[in-house]
């Protein structure tokens, strides 16, 4: 088999069984770890699994303090350990993803790696791209890109642990045609299956097979929750705690259909707008944010401050502009009395939803126009900033846009035109042509996404790269759903809710986490799904700070936000590895090829390594 430089013919394999192995390895006990791991892998293969995924660093455990300490346990790939798993793969005609500590024979460099082993032996190698805090003590960042491997089971990609905190690491393999992402991990500090894993599956329409460990090691508590996650982000099967096997099925045909809902015309990959993703390869947080964004005294960040923000969940009445404006005025005044500085309303809050050109044409307004003048009076009277959705008419072209307006007491601060059009927009709206701008107000630097836009992680990422403190999301969406999850018996840190939760997975919370930005999601009430929320950016070691309107009824959510601290430092954004992200901003006709070529080194790795280690 080859790496992503040589893809298969596109033949769709039949559904097949998969397995994720969960177990607790121990430091300085490689022989015992291997005995357990081989037993569980054999059990999964005998049980019919054709693709088996093991945890990160499965042969050695994880919490190594120095390069010298782990030196006795690293090994080449291929090597003695891969030969043991190759025997299982050959005996049962299956494929195994094995997480282990690798040494490159030619250089002596160590990596946190995972190898894809087929019946004929090692067929692909991935080296962890985004290091967690422990890897820099002994391992080099991965240097083989984000490859996809063609197999009889379809196209398989691998990412490892912290990689899943970065949407790029799943998006690029998806662009290269991945059907399944195998995920060896040692996840911690969160009830698992992690919502991050679910987001990576849902936004790319791929299966996500997560093999985690559990247990306590050097004071670090790992979270278990190994899972098989479906392309819609739902959990097909999971194991909370203990050694065991999570069983599941992969239907490659389902993974290759990128429509998020049956029968809908939306497509999670075809609907991308790479013409607006020009910031994806910029490393904008290598330098202190105030210095970088204030360079040459051009557009420095607003002074950090504390504010209060709110979202309003209601169902804008179709075509009832005056009624909707009265509702906006009432809610704004009420929330201003509660000390709110910024209020966000749903998508098309002024006009209500429309489904055809004729209706939209009647309701559309040039900007400024009567409704925008009314919104300005509302903002000025309440002395707040507000964001509301309108049908905008371009006076020069007569084109209509699904737009959102940031309005302040002194008038319009900024406009955003929806980039990614949902099916309901397409009969009347023109795709946005203003890119992904941000705007500075006293509350902070604000970017906007509308509805379907938020399903594309590149859009929120572009705003974060441009320094957004706040990402406002006026919406009228019913997908992806907010998903509950039950309790875990694994001891969790005090800032983690270990009990059953009704909003375990909320995509807009993930956009906050990924981008170290406050996210204000103002969705419509029924017939939209509701679940509006304010998600304040916090450190991973802090309790969540959020306010949610639960369910699809009307309501408001209010939260205190601070544009200092993690929002400005954007620690997670700073640790991106944009050297591997070219495919994200490549034109659609080139994206798949660029994604494959960037991962081609992983396929070219095998022959010279075999020669160096005498593997034959």
Q: What is the DSSP letter of 156?
A: E
Q: Which of 186, 151, 181 is nearest to 169 (CA)?
A: 181
56 among known catalytic residues: yes
- Whether the CB-CB separation of 425 and 173 falls below 8 Å is answered with no
Q: Is 42 helix (H, G, I), strand (E, B) or coil?
A: helix
Catalytic residue selected from 94, 161, 182, 473: 161
Known catalytic membership, residue 161: yes
Catalytic residue flag (residue 340): no
Q: Torsions phi, psi of 306, nearest 5?
A: -95, 140
In 240-331 the beta strands, taken as DSSP E runs, fall at: 244-250, 306-313
Q: Which of 87, 155, 146 is nearest to 117 (CA)?
A: 87
Question: Judging by DSSP bridges, how do beta strands 438-441 and 411-417 pair with one another?
Answer: unpaired
Residue 197 CA, chain-centre distance (Å), reads 8
Tokens describing residue 5? 């430089």
Of the candidates 253, 200, 238, which has an alpha carbon nearest to the alpha carbon of residue 20?
238
Torsion of CA 368, 530, 469, 347, to 10 degrees: -20
Q: By C-alpha distance, which of 303, 304, 305, 308 is closest to 560?
A: 308
For helices 30-46 and 80-92, what crossing angle results, to 10°?
10
Structural contact between residues 194 and 496, judged by C-beta atoms closer than 8 angstroms:
no
Catalytic site residue from 24, 56, 347, 392: 56
Beta strand 306-313 with 244-250 is unpaired
How many Å apart are CA 612 and CA 616, to the nearest integer? 10
The 235-239 sheet, strands edge to edge: 148-151, 154-158, 180-184, 207-211, 226-229, 235-239
The C-alpha atoms of residue 16 and residue 152 are separated, in whole angstroms, by 11
C-beta separation of 443 from 307 below 8 A:
yes
Report the C-alpha gap between 290 and 293 in whole angstroms.
5
Catalytic residue among 24, 50, 94, 128: 128
Q: CA-CA distance, 488 to 222, in Å (whole number)?
A: 12
The catalytic residues are 56, 128, 161
């Amino acid at each position: 088999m080859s790496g992503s430089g040589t893809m298969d013919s596109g033949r769709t394999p039949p559904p097949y069984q998969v397995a994720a192995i969960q177990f607790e390895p121990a430091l300085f006990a490689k022989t015992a770890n291997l005995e357990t791991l081989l037993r569980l892998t054999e059990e999964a293969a005998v049980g019919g699994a054709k693709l088996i995924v093991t945890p990160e660093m499965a042969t050695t455990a994880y919490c190594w303090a120095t390069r010298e300490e782990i030196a006795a346990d690293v090994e080449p790939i291929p090597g003695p350990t891969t030969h043991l798993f190759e025997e299982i793969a050959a005996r049962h005609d299956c494929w195994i993803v094995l997480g282990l500590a690798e040494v490159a024979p030619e250089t002596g460099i160590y990596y946190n790696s995972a190898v894809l082993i087929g019946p004929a032996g090692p067929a692909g190698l991935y080296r962890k791209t985004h290091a967690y805090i422990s890897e820099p003590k002994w391992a080099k960042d991965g240097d083989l890109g984000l490859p996809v491997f063609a197999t009889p089971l379809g196209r398989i990609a691998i990412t490892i642990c912290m990689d899943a905190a970065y949407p790029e690491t799943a998006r690029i393999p998806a662009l290269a045609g991945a059907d399944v992402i195998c995920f060896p991990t040692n996840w911690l500090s969160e009830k698992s299956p992690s919502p991050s894993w679910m987001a990576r599956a849902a936004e790319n329409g791929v299966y996500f097979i997560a093999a985690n460990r559990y247990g306590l090691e050097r004071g670090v508590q790992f979270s278990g929750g190994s899972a098989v996650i479906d392309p819609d982000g739902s959990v097909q099967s999971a194991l909370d705690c203990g050694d065991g096997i999570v069983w599941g099925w992969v239907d490659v045909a389902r993974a290759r259909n990128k429509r998020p809902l049956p029968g809908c015309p939306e497509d999670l990959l075809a609907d991308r707008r790479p013409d607006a993703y020009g910031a994806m390869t910029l490393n904008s947080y290598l330098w202190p944010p105030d210095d970088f964004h204030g360079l040459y005294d051009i557009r420095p960040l607003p002074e950090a401050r504390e504010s209060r923000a709110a979202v309003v969940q209601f169902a804008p009445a179709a075509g009832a502009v005056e009624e909707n404006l009265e509702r906006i005025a009432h809610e704004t005044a009420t929330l201003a009395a509660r000390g709110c500085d910024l209020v966000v309303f749903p998508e098309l809050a002024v006009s209500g939803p429309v489904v055809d050109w004729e209706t939209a044409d009647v309701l559309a307004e040039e900007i400024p126009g009567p409704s925008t003048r009314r919104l300005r009076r509302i903002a000025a009277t309440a002395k707040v900033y507000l964001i509301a959705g309108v049908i905008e008419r371009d006076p020069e072209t007569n084109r209509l846009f699904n737009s959102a307006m940031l309005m302040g007491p002194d008038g319009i601060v900024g406009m955003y035109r929806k980039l990614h059009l949902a099916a309901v927009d397409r009969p009347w709206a023109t795709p946005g042509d203003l890119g992904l701008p941000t705007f500075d107000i006293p509350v902070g630097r604000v970017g906007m996404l509308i509805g379907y836009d938020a399903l594309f992680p590149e859009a929120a990422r572009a705003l974060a790269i441009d320094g957004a403190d706040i990402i406002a999301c006026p919406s009228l969406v019913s997908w992806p759903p907010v998903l509950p999850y039950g309790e875990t018996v694994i001891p969790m840190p005090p800032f983690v809710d270990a009990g059953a939760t009704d909003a375990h997975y909320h995509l807009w919370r993930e956009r906050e986490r990924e981008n170290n930005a406050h996210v204000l999601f103002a969705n419509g009430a029924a017939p939209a799904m509701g679940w509006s929320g304010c998600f304040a950016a916090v450190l991973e070691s802090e309790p969540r700070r959020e306010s949610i309107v639960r369910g699809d009824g009307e309501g408001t959510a209010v939260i205190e936000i601070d544009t200092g601290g993690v929002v400005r430092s954007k620690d997670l954004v700073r640790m991106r590895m944009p050297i591997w992200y070219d495919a994200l901003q490549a034109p659609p006709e080139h994206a798949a090829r660029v994604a494959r070529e960037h991962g081609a080194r992983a396929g070219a790795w095998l022959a010279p390594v075999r020669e160096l280690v005498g593997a034959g």
